Amino acid sequence: MPRPQLRPYQADLVSALKHKVRDGFQRIVIIAGTGAGKTVISGQICADAEATGTRLLFLVHLDVLVGQTYSKMQAFGLHCGFIKAGWPEDPSAPIQIASVQTMAKRDWWQTWPADLVFYDEGHTTAFSQVGQQVLYQTHPNAIHIALTATPYRLGEAQLGDHFETFVATPPPAVLQKMGFLAPLQYYGLPLEDQVELEGIATIAGDYDENALKNACDRPELVQRIVQEWQRLTPGKRTLAFCVDVDHARHVAAAFREAGVAADCVEGGTLPKVRQQIYEALAAGELQVLTSCNVISIGFDVPAVEVGLLLRPTLSLALHHQQIGRIMRISPDTGKTHGIILDQAGNLQRLGFPEDVQRYELPVGMGAIAGSVQGIPDSKPSKKCPQCQRCVATVLMECPGCGYDWAADRPIYTEDLIPLINREQLRATADEPTRYRLFQGLRRRVFRRNYAPDIAKQQYWDFFEAWPPVEWYRGAIFAKEGHRGDRQAYVRYLDGIAGRLGKPMPWIIQEFEKEFGEGSWS
């Protein structure tokens, strides 16, 4: 097998990393988005380390990644030992591939003289108990390198709290233009019909899986995604990202009942069986593969053309990892682009990978939103739609008025519609399209009981221009508006005015934007 060759931008990144080390930095993050070639980049770094006599400790957070890591080391002809149950130990090897689960049960590595510690999937591995132990206790004087496709983490602690600087590949949109990532087509929920999940409890910063199961693992939703797949992407190799194992099984079963070759891979699936399933998918013998988390990380079948986003998430890292599985190029199989079918509303919630314009190293709570332009802030609280009280997101009942978020929520079972990312929208949106988008934003803001100016600001975020004043007219209700509509809008504006301290003239002005000049009198 020929030794992998670096693409120009990968070689630039490795060179930049060496400059950082020469400049005295000891804790460095490598940001390389999915499909940017993390395997080749990390392999080259390990090869350079072995060539210079550097002893390297390579940490992975999932047992399944040990074998995958060793395969890439073999491609570079490297000599490795292992800290993993069932794999041969060789402390004399210059590179040690270590599972953090096994490291917690062994102790000889604590005195192994590593010069360089490499954290694969660093946004997870470096924050494990073992990762923190290596960073601060057992090897504080080593050089520490954290590799990640997405530096953003849920919760308070961020990579920038533990690492000093970073180097990065170009963002996804640039790699697409270079031809190293496949362009994507998106289908998802209409802006105004996005399913509300504000009542779903959160655990460790993401939606509680038990609550999501009740919201997402419903026969009508499972059947609809099968129908949408048949309508939009029939016959294409597909990954489905599900809420839990039961959900993944149900989705696979629904596809099989529709005559589509489908299977499910689970955490307990034996590695040999898992590899056989992956090979069947790559060969086209299997059309749909469902899973929960197992195929978000460490999966590499570039021929896959379709991703089904069926699990709502607040995790930008997970969101980008899942979409990234579909962005890999596969010219040998005739793949020209990837397609995302988003039933979970994640694109509306977290945006598109192509909208990332630059990378930064997040620091502290809230850095997730601030690190990527175009991604809205996440709110740890919610407002009661009945009494406007601000309460913790995890509460299912308002302590002020008793409003119940657990009541039946609307389920969107209509056709998915095409969605486009920010750059595509700016480049292609004509005036009618912008008009429809702004009116959709107005309706969404009203339905969510947000201040009306938010729609205008969101429009600016898309186009860097303000919407014409005439576009406000009839955006939420019919042009004339029934008496009940007008009364509902007055109640809405009155509530917003009370929260924001707006005077009566503001209410009249906003009312007449919707119903026309002079309509207040």
Q: What is the pLDDT of residue 194?
A: 47
Give the H or E element holding residue 257. helix 245-257
Q: What is the pLDDT of residues 288-313, one digit of tens each?
A: 999 987 775 557 799 999 999 999 99
Domain range list for the chain? 8-169, 177-355+376-382, 429-521
Over residues 143-157, mean pLDDT: 86
Q: What is the pLDDT of residues 495-504, one digit of tens each?
A: 888 888 889 9
Q: What is the pLDDT of residues 73-117, one digit of tens each?
A: 999 999 999 999 889 999 999 999 999 999 999 999 999 999 999
Q: What is the pLDDT of residues 250-299, one digit of tens each?
A: 999 999 999 999 999 988 888 788 889 999 999 999 999 999 877 755 57
Contacts of 382 (CB under 8 A, 6+ apart): 198, 390, 391, 392, 393
Q: What is the pLDDT of residue 406?
A: 43
Residue 382, SS3? strand
Q: What is the pLDDT of residue 378?
A: 35
Asked if residues 335 and 329 have their Cβ atoms less than 8 Å apart, the reply is: yes
pTM above 0.95, yes or no: no
Q: How confident is the model at residue 357 (pLDDT cuts 50, 70, 90)?
A: confident
Please give the DSSP secondary-structure letter assigned to residue 28.
E
Share of the chain above pLDDT 70, in %: 85
8-169 sits in which CATH class? Answer: alpha beta
C-alpha–C-alpha distance, residues 389 and 417, integer Å: 34
Mean pLDDT (the chain) is: 84
Q: Which of 42-51, 171-180, 415-424, 452-461 has the lowest mean pLDDT?
A: 415-424
Q: What is the pLDDT of residue 370?
A: 31
Share of the chain above pLDDT 90, in %: 51
| Fold match flag (8-169 vs 177-355+376-382) | yes
For domain 177-355+376-382, give the CATH number. Answer: 3.40.50.300
Q: What is the pLDDT of residue 143?
A: 97
Tokens, residue 60: 């992975």
Q: What is the pLDDT of residue 413?
A: 54
Query: SS3 sequence, 185-248?
Result: EEEECCHHHCCCCCCCCEECCEECHHHHHHHHCCHHHHHHHHHHHHHHCCCCCEEEECCCHHHH
